[in-house]
A and B are shown apart, each in its own frame.
Chain A
């Protein structure tokens, strides 16, 4: 039952891994944040599930733009969800 509830998050995790193995490798992913955006996505999905994890990841991706300074940014330090 617990696993069934977590299934959506696993789907999301699968997508992130898929990105990492294909396009991420191609692009030689180097992110200006630590941990990188894809690692952040994995952490967020594991801790917050599919919906909230996706929102957190989306917000991180938006922040990861040429006009931000990057830096250290863990999922634990997010301020959107309690």
Chain B
């Protein structure tokens, strides 16, 4: 077990939390797994909050970014560089940082190892879930019909979470991500049901998180009112086309504005 040894401390930690959830808190083993999964995801929430903030920030700068994209349409590499420069100047980072993503790997792998060991040597105690819906979470997912229900749930949640999270990706990558869970079923079917339970739980969390993120994300919002930075002419033109509040602030400085405002539609959107 090459991966296992450096992760042993982490594995032990997770295992002792699992034991604590069962022994002291008094959950059944199945609910302990669910609780442990939720705890791990909860720890990652601050990262998500950070991400949402930068996404909101990004949305405020969308018009300027569109401009950059238009300007360097021919040269994709140049376009990417200019965008990155723009991000840095405005301190927005739309993409995730690599470090926290990589930091999640060991945690998830350790969790997997704990659950695998757990399934191999099931401890004494109740191993069923939801009043016998799943008779034994240490058995393979294919051992009982409930395992197939969970697998179906896994695929469904995986697809939904992918759709929610990959809105900004390109088509090919997205299709690939949508096909992957289907192939994973063939592996998961020989995994202990407890692991499938973990996957379903963590996916449901991702879905919930995605829905909340969407709610918090402003939909095609107006940029915040101008700061002291003077806007180049092209941008000023674009400003005329954005919804009311921001436009009202800059109005005096923009003689060309009236002809581009589509009042009725925009007002409705802004007031809601």
Residues of A within 8 A of B (CB): 23, 25-34, 36-37, 61-62, 64-66, 68-72
Asked whether A28 lies within 8 Å of B165 as measured between CB atoms, the reply is yes
Distance in angstroms between the alpha carbons of A59 and B132 in the assembled complex? 51
Q: With A31-B96, A61-B102 known to touch, is A25 a contact of B180 (CB < 8 Å)?
A: yes
Q: Size range of the interface on B?
A: 20 to 34
Asked whether B85 lies within 8 Å of A27 as measured between CB atoms, the reply is no
Chain A minimum-CB-distance residue to B51: A66
Which of B7-15, B87-95, B146-154 interfaces with chain A?
B87-95
User: Contact string, B161-176, partner A, CB cutoff 8 A, digits 1/0?
Assistant: 0000110110001001
State how many angstroms separate the Cβ of A31 from the closest Cβ of chain B. 5
Chain A minimum-CB-distance residue to B83: A34
Distance in angstroms between the alpha carbons of A78 and B98 in the assembled complex? 18
Q: With A34-B80, A34-B84 known to touch, is A70 a contact of B165 (CB < 8 Å)?
A: no
New A-B contacts (13) at CB < 8 Å, excluding given A30-B169, A71-B87, A72-B84: A25-B176, A25-B180, A29-B98, A29-B101, A32-B95, A34-B80, A34-B83, A61-B98, A65-B99, A65-B100, A70-B84, A70-B88, A71-B85
**Could you list 11 examples of A-B contacts with CB < 8 Å?**
A25-B173, A25-B177, A30-B96, A30-B168, A31-B97, A32-B96, A61-B98, A64-B99, A66-B50, A68-B97, A71-B87
Asked whether A23 lies within 8 Å of B84 as measured between CB atoms, the reply is no
Distance in angstroms between the alpha carbons of A71 and B81 in the assembled complex? 8
Q: Which residues of B contact A71 (CB under 8 A)?
A: 84-85, 87-88
Instruction: List which B75-123 residues lie within 8 A (CB) of chain A.
Output: 80-81, 83-85, 87-88, 91, 93-102, 105
State how many angstroms separate the Cβ of B122 from the closest Cβ of chain A. 29
Asked whether A31 lies within 8 Å of B95 as measured between CB atoms, the reply is yes
Q: Does B47 contact A (CB under 8 A)?
A: yes
Distance in angstroms between the alpha carbons of A31 and B169 in the assembled complex? 12
Chain B minimum-CB-distance residue to A25: B176
State how many angstroms separate the Cβ of A45 from the closest Cβ of chain B. 16
State how many angstroms separate the Cβ of B2 from the closest Cβ of chain A. 13
Asked whether A66 lies within 8 Å of B87 as measured between CB atoms, the reply is no
Chain B minimum-CB-distance residue to A38: B98
Asked whether A28 lies within 8 Å of B47 as measured between CB atoms, the reply is no
Asked whether A26 lies within 8 Å of B100 as measured between CB atoms, the reply is no
Q: Which residues of B contact A30 (CB under 8 A)?
A: 94-96, 168-169
State how many angstroms separate the Cβ of A70 from the closest Cβ of chain B. 5
State how many angstroms separate the Cβ of B212 from the closest Cβ of chain A. 19
Distance in angstroms between the alpha carbons of A26 and B140 in the assembled complex? 24
State how many angstroms separate the Cβ of A37 from the closest Cβ of chain B. 4
User: Contact string, B9-51, partner A, CB cutoff 8 A, digits 1/0?
Assistant: 0000000000000000000000000000000000000010011
Distance in angstroms between the alpha carbons of A37 and B80 in the assembled complex? 15
Distance in angstroms between the alpha carbons of A62 and B168 in the assembled complex? 25
Distance in angstroms between the alpha carbons of A39 and B136 in the assembled complex? 45
User: Contact string, B231-266, partner A, CB cutoff 8 A, digits 1/0?
Assistant: 000000000000000000000000000000000000
